[in-house]
A and B are shown apart, each in its own frame.
Chain A
Amino acid sequence: MRQVLEFEKPVIALREKIAELKKFTKDSDLDLSEEIVKLETRLEKLENDIYTNLKPWDRVQMARHADRPTTLDYIEHLFTDFLEFHGDRYYGDDAAIVAGIAKYKGQPVTVVGHQRGKSTKENIRRNFGMPHPEGFRKAARHMQQAAKFGRPIICFIDTKGAFPGRAAEERGQSEAIARNLMEMAGFEVPIICIVIGEGGSGGALALGVGDRLLMLENSTFSVISPEGAASILWKDGGKAKEAAEKLKITAQDLKELGVIDNIIPEVRGGAHRDLASQAELVDQAITENLTQLEKMDKQVLLEKRWEKYSNIGAYTE
């Protein structure tokens, strides 16, 4: 069953009413088509009002939506010949990250992304998309390979964060993330990173250093979850809504702050409404950016990447 979000309820209610009237028109002699047209216009306006005025907290709900497309969904729609490869060669294979090679419009690429599950069972297997060090090291291994063979890297970001567990700490969660950040800054191939759902803290950023950091319109990218911030700031996890506003975690806010390069629009009502159309929008963004990046000389690419990150921040001097 499709998860209904709080702010969408008026839309859903109106849709149901229209459906009811249509059924009534069909089943009886009474012609309500005039009424239906009126309601459909109203629905159009209502949808517009709601979906173009989403509050940060609404977007958090959207980004976390159970049916929201995941990395593997996009891979299926955007690439051909995808081969998934496993393991970090040191400890294990982390199902919270998928990685492999594929073709993008005929061109070889390396694809890496966080992978959460859509069902409880799959979520448990994939640890809710929260990687251990071996996940980040698997990602690093594939990106090193991409650099070796001159393939562009496409990263999909979709995680609440790196897993805060005992084993993760023992195996060097910090080092695994840090190494990715450092190495990604230096790979001599184009890197495009796309936040498709939640972009939580260091675990998200560990796949987020590249030439382009793009965000889907209703995705979020944050240093801490709104719940976490609320419980630290106000000792009240229930104030998450307020924290979501203050933290500036939406694509729109982050574009303004200079943290991300661009926003990828979403189909009305959110990416989960129409995966095929959404994948097309992502496709356009990848093509556009990849074309720009591939024209650049390796040294220019790296220099521009450094400039981009070295310019992020706010201070006076």
Chain B
Amino acid sequence: MLKDFFSKKKHASKPSEEAKQDIPEGLMLKCSSCGKIYYREEMRKQLYVCQKCGHHHQLPSDERINSLFDEGSFLEYDTNLETGNPLEFPSYSQKLEKDQLKTELKEAVVTGEGTVNGFRTAFAVMDSRFRMASMGSVVGEKIARALEKAREEKIPFIIFTASGGARMQEGALSLMQMAKTSAAVQRFRDAGGLMISVMTNPTYGGVSASFASLGDYNFAEPGALIGFAGRRVVEETIREKLPEDFQTAEFLLDHGQLDAVINRHDMKKYLTTILDIHQAGGHVS
């Protein structure tokens, strides 16, 4: 739905000399913002943040989990949920199968729990490699269940969001996941639970307009594009050119929509501090 956000260079710059060389695919990666070429392994170690320009590239969910949770502490929830094709939408099943093969994921979100520098917390990590992390029945169900689990266990809930929006092929069932997940947040908050939302690139549509915006703290990664309607739709509607930084994390921060923009390298330390402060004084302990 929002395919262009991935390829779009936010601050377009001339590709470097290195970028023009013919590099075998797979071994090397090119920064989509400044064009600098990296060995894949080097980029992976840097959590896919460009050392030259700081651009935050897509981070696969398993690597995100490894970067945040203490070694060996990760326990995955609800590993067997799979989407059917409730509307019998043409070619939907094939698309799911293709993405399952490509990503080795069953769906666009991984949920579970673990410890972050010793603090036990439930979490959900959305993975935009799978169907643009659009929200269908399984995404909604897994997130709602993780929130319920966190409520029962009296532990915090951290979510890393990414989404192109609704899973169109599931029609209104997809839409209703907004209500389901938001209702789960309501129950969790009502019980005094701490919820932290970290929005990553891109977070749009139904995900942006439900749990992603409902944290006690709402953060974003640098440069992440976040909004209800996509840039192109907005441009077509109002027929005016939008500022270049429209809907970036920094733009939202300026407009009072976020608590802070957090660099991926600082994330674990930052979250640890928040968990520590709430452990010391909040309801969740």
Contact = CB atoms under 8 A, between A and B. Distances in A.
Interface of A: 162-166, 168-175, 177-179, 181-183, 185-186, 201-202, 205-206, 208-209, 221-224, 229, 232-233, 246-249, 254, 257, 259, 305-306, 309-310, 312-317
Interface string B23-54: 00000000000000000000000000000000
Contacts of A172: 213, 255-257
A302 to B, nearest CB: 9
A313 B137 contact: yes
Contacts of A257: 86, 171-173
17 contacts: A163-B237, A165-B237, A166-B234, A166-B246, A170-B255, A172-B256, A173-B209, A174-B208, A174-B213, A177-B209, A178-B211, A181-B210, A182-B183, A182-B186, A202-B209, A249-B172, A314-B84
A221 B242 CA distance: 31
Contacts of B212: 174, 178
A25 B136 CA distance: 62
B108 interface: no
Contacts of B234: 164-166, 169
Contacts of B70: none
Q: Pick the 7 closest A-B CB pairs, nearest first.
A: A164-B229, A313-B137, A181-B182, A314-B86, A185-B183, A174-B208, A178-B213
B123 to A, nearest CB: 19
Interface string B96-129: 0000000000000000000000000000000000
Contacts of A183: 186
B142 to A, nearest CB: 9
B154 to A, nearest CB: 18
A172 B176 CA distance: 21
Interface of B: 1, 78, 80-84, 86-87, 89-90, 137-138, 140-141, 144, 166, 168, 170-180, 182-187, 189-190, 205-206, 208-214, 226-230, 233-234, 237-238, 240, 242, 246-247, 255-257
B228 A174 contact: yes
A254 B174 CA distance: 12
A60 to B, nearest CB: 14
Contact of A315 (B137, B166, B257): B137
Given A232-B168, A254-B172, A178 B214 contact: yes
Contacts of A248: 87, 171-172
B173 A314 contact: yes
Given A166-B238, A314-B137, A314-B173, 17 more contacts: A163-B237, A164-B230, A172-B257, A174-B226, A178-B209, A182-B185, A185-B179, A186-B187, A202-B209, A209-B183, A222-B172, A223-B206, A246-B87, A254-B172, A310-B184, A316-B81, A316-B84
A177 B183 contact: no
Contact of A233 (B168, B205, B208, B214): B168
A174 B206 CA distance: 8
Nearest to B85: A314
B183 A181 contact: yes
Contacts of A305: 183
Which of A170, A171, A174 counts the most chain B CB atoms within 10 A?
A174
A205 B140 contact: no
A179 B213 contact: yes
A211 to B, nearest CB: 12
Given A166-B242, A259-B173, A313-B176, A174 B84 contact: no
Contacts of B140: 313
A131 to B, nearest CB: 11
A314 B238 CA distance: 37
B42 to A, nearest CB: 35
Contacts of A232: 1, 168
A316 B226 CA distance: 31
Contacts of B170: 223, 314
A246 B90 CA distance: 9
B233 A164 contact: yes
A84 B208 CA distance: 31
Which of B137, B186, B238 counts the most chain A CB atoms within 10 A?
B186
Contacts of A179: 213-214
Contact of A223 (B78, B166, B187, B208): B166
A278 to B, nearest CB: 24
B84 A315 contact: yes
A205 B178 contact: yes
Which of A169, A185, A223, A317 counts the most chain B CB atoms within 10 A?
A223
A249 to B, nearest CB: 7
